[in-house]
Amino acid sequence: MAENEEAIETTPTNETGDNNTEASPETAATPEPEVSTEEITYHAVEKDGQVTAIWEMQGRKHLRTIDPRSRQGQEILRLYTSEHPEDEAAASA
């Protein structure tokens, strides 16, 4: 949980208003998780020409930060530079 978020604790109640939390067969089913159709993208965070972090994003939502020195970070950077060799050539010119 982020620093600026607060945890709110609630006590579940049934239709009669008491705190009996036994679920009836109709309400016992768990809802399906929402599946986002937005694709996952990776954004390099640079400082002084060096990649300092890689952000994994789904749309505008930040999912996680990947260390560029990690195995997965190196894989992502290798895939990007192999797909975009003109960017690398332009940076060295």
In a domain, 20, yes or no: no
In a domain, 88, yes or no: yes
In a domain, 32, yes or no: no
Range of the domain at 61: 40-92
In a domain, 19, yes or no: no
In a domain, 31, yes or no: no
Q: Are 54 and 80 in contact (CB under 8 A)?
A: no
In a domain, 69, yes or no: yes
What is the chain's pLDDT, residue by residue, as a tens digit (93 residues)? 444 444 444 444 455 555 555 555 555 566 666 666 889 999 999 999 999 999 999 999 999 999 999 999 999 999 987 776 665 555 555
What's the pTM value of the predicted model, to 2 decimals?
A: 0.52
What is the pLDDT at residue 38?
86
Sheet of 61-66: strand order equals 40-47, 50-58, 61-66
Give me the number of domains the chain comprises. 1
In a domain, 65, yes or no: yes
In a domain, 2, yes or no: no
